């Protein structure tokens, strides 16, 4: 009834875009951050200064640690900033400064509008817990704890691997499998016994690279084929689809 193959003992859920609608908020915050930066950075060509797009988000930012997203997107525009320091303010032309600007925007948005969970994801979490599966939340966000609590998922998640844990434990960000592998270890299961649930291309790449037992792509932004091409065993538009009797036939 869960749409998973035999032998899966644990579920590793990305948060933004899989459990909650906060991926939409992150995308908007990144757009504001980069558009403001590009419009004020001197010496750029029109191509380099072009507005940040959804395609940019999907290719360079989605699912990655915040500073990796800054570096990777700017590298795609042939812009190389100094790293800076954690004391840099949101207007500093450094990786730290741009990352701080984005974080300030997302925190303000979350405080003002809160977190909206996907109803189908809540249903799936309840079903997974009832079936005795172990559950972990795995997110690149340093604000993972706040989002999980605000979304009402705390009671389901035995383990949380977020951006703060990744920094503490020196985990490489997605598309490296490190955060998901850390989640599996914390639950006491082998990667082959765990299913990864991801909406980001970098996330399904991480699931495939870690040799996990099953990788579920969650198609929230019309990139089903890309999710399949980068490692998803199955792609659904909503986790509730996996509760259907014929979910295992999907591809």
- Kindly state whether residues 95 and 167 are assigned to the same domain: no
Residues 95 and 148 in one domain: no
Q: How far apart are CA 101 and CA 31, in angstroms?
A: 11
Mind listing the pLDDT tens digit for each residue in 51-91?
999 999 989 998 898 999 999 999 999 999 999 999 999 99
Q: In what order do the strands lie in the sheet with 234-236?
A: 159-161, 134-138, 10-13, 194-198, 214-218, 234-236
Q: Per-residue confidence at 245, pLDDT binned at 50, 70, 90?
A: low
- Active site members: 14, 16
Q: Report the number of distinct structural domains present in the chain.
A: 2
Among residues 102, 156, 115, 100, the alpha carbon closest in space to that of 16 is found at 115
Q: Is the pLDDT confidence value at 197 over 90? A: yes
The predicted pLDDT at position 96 comes to 97
* String of DSSP letters for 133-148: -EEEEE-S-TTHHHHH
CATH number of the domain residue 142 falls in = 3.40.50.1000
pTM equals 0.82
**Cβ-based neighbours of 45, under 8 Å, separated by 6 or more:** none
- Give yes or no: residues 192 and 238 share one domain: yes
Copy the structure tokens of residue 184.
């599996």
Asked whether residue 147 falls in the same domain as residue 180, the answer is yes
Question: Do 238 and 157 belong to one domain?
Answer: yes
Domain boundary among 67, 83, 113: 113
Domain that holds residue 219: 10-21+116-249
- The answer to whether residues 105 and 160 belong to one domain is no
Residue finishing a domain among 73, 92, 113: 113
pLDDT tens per residue, range 89-138? 999 999 999 999 999 998 888 888 788 899 999 999 999 999 999 999 99
Is 206 inside any structural domain? yes
Q: Are residues 140 and 58 in the same domain?
A: no
């Amino acid at each position: 009834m869960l749409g998973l193959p035999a032998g899966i003992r644990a579920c590793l859920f990305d948060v933004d875009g899989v459990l909650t609608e906060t991926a939409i908020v992150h995308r908007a915050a990144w757009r504001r951050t980069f558009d403001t930066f590009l419009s004020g950075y001197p010496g750029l060509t029109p191509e380099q200064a072009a507005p940040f797009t959804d395609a940019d988000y999907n290719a360079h930012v989605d699912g990655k640690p915040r500073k990796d997203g800054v570096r990777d997107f700017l590298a795609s525009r042939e812009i190389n900033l100094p790293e800076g320091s954690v004391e840099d303010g949101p207007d500093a032309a450094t990786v730290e400064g741009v990352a701080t600007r984005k974080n300030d925007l997302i925190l303000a948005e979350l405080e003002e509008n809160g977190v909206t969970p996907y109803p189908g994801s809540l249903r799936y979490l309840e079903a997974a817990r009832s079936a005795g599966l172990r559950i972990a939340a795995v997110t690149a966000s340093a604000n993972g704890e706040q989002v999980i609590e605000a979304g009402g998922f705390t009671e389901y998640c035995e383990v949380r691997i977020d951006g703060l844990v990744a920094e503490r434990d020196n985990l490489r960000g997605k598309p490296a499998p490190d955060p998901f592998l850390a989640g599996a270890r914390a639950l006491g299961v082998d990667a082959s016994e765990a299913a990864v649930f991801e909406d980001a291309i970098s996330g399904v790449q991480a699931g495939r690279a870690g040799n996990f037992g099953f990788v579920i792509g969650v198609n929230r932004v019309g990139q089903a084929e890309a999710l399949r091409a980068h490692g998803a065993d199955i792609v659904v538009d909503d986790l509730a689809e996996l509760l259907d009797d014929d979910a295992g036939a999907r591809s």
